Amino acid sequence: MRNGDWMSTFTGRAFWPCDPRPEEICIEDIAHHLSLICRFTGACREFYSVGQHSVLLSRIVPEKDAKWGLLHDASEAYLTDVARPVKPHLSNYQEIEDRLMRAVAKQFRLPWPMPESIHRADDIMVCTERRDLLNPEPDWGEWCHGIPLLEDPIHPHCPEDAEFEFLSRYEELFGVNT
């Protein structure tokens, strides 16, 4: 008996997000779902996907951590992008997300836990995304102070391009064709 209800994925699979099994996690589902989820719960001036964010992040971490960089938000393909200030207030969200990310790590043969470089890179991305994609107000105060920004501005891609880039980066990093 599986824990919780199942959801349908892009590739037509049944997936139990509260009872994930590594062999049921599919890179095509992750790429497609993340390419259609907007960062910052849609607060961007124009659509910018979690999928594109993941590709960019995978390019700024040390090469040894690039696979994790690409897949660091894979749980959001099944749980959606919950805003940082909300996550701590969802009673068992962190437990569900951790269980799902452990399954991702196992499916894609990634070390657990996720490397610290990913968390630092995510902060760099958030602050750069704020500069390039969000309205300037409200002031984030000291939160971004001391966090280096990417030199080049981020230009959002359409979902189809973001999905293609995600799968291409996956093939590059993992050496497998999707």
Tell me the CATH number at 110. 1.10.3210.10
Residue 130 has what pLDDT?
Answer: 94
Residue 78 lies in a domain: yes
Task: Retrieve residue 110's tokens.
Answer: 């990634």
Confidence of residue 178 (pLDDT cuts 50, 70, 90): low
The 3 state secondary structure assigned to 31-82 is HHHHHCCEHHHHCCCCCCEHHHHHHHHHHHCCHHHHHHHHHCCCCHHHHCCC
50 vs 80, more confident: 50
1-25: pLDDT as tens digits = 666 799 999 999 999 999 999 999 9
Residue 99 lies in a domain: yes
Residue 81 lies in a domain: yes
Residue 138 has what pLDDT?
Answer: 78
Confidence of residue 156 (pLDDT cuts 50, 70, 90): very high
Residue 3 lies in a domain: no
Give the separation between CA 97 and CA 3, rounded to whole angstroms.
14
Mean pLDDT, the chain, rounded, equals 94
Please give the C-alpha separations between residue 117 and each of 90, 106, 136, 149, in angstroms, as whole numbers: 26, 19, 27, 15
Confidence of residue 139 (pLDDT cuts 50, 70, 90): confident
91 vs 28, more confident: 28
Query: 140 pLDDT exceeds 90?
Result: no
Residue 126 has what pLDDT?
Answer: 96
Residue 21 lies in a domain: yes
Containing structural domain, residue 52: 11-174
Tally of domains in the chain: 1
Amino acid (1-letter code) at residue 162: A
Residue 6 lies in a domain: no
Residue 5 lies in a domain: no
Residue 4 lies in a domain: no
Residue 19 has what pLDDT?
Answer: 95
Give the separation between CA 157 and CA 56, rounded to whole angstroms.
12
159 upstream amide cis, omega within 30 of 0? no
Query: 149 pLDDT exceeds 90?
Result: yes
Residue 88 has what pLDDT?
Answer: 87
